Amino acid sequence: MLIFTRKSEESFLLYTSDGVIEIKLADTDKNEVKVMLDAPKGVHVMRSELADR
């Protein structure tokens, strides 16, 4: 596992065979982080707690 340290409004990029995925921290709070994902249409994104169902 790779761990990133980012501030609010900073992002990182994942380069995949389907294209580039940008993950951006929209806002941070003490107990919450808002994350924005920009991915190609062919990439499926799902929260882990929903994938376990």
52 within some domain: no
Is the overall model pTM greater than 0.95, yes or no? no
Q: Is 51 part of any domain?
A: no
Which pLDDT does position 12 carry in this prediction? 93
In a domain, 18, yes or no: yes
Could you report the per-residue pLDDT of 13-35, keeping only the tens digit for each? 999 998 999 999 988 888 898 99
Task: Mention every residue, 6+ apart, whose C-beta is less than 8 A from residue 30.
Answer: none
Helix (H) or strand (E) holding 49: helix 48-51
Domain count, the chain: 1
Q: How confident is the model at residue 6 (pLDDT cuts 50, 70, 90)?
A: confident
Going by the DSSP 8-state scheme, the letter that residue 31 receives in this structure is: S
Name the band, by pLDDT with cuts 50, 70 and 90, for residue 39: very high
Q: Which domain holds residue 29?
A: 1-42
Q: Find, among 4, 42, 40, the residue nearest to 25 by Cα.
A: 4
pLDDT higher than threshold 80 for residue 52: no
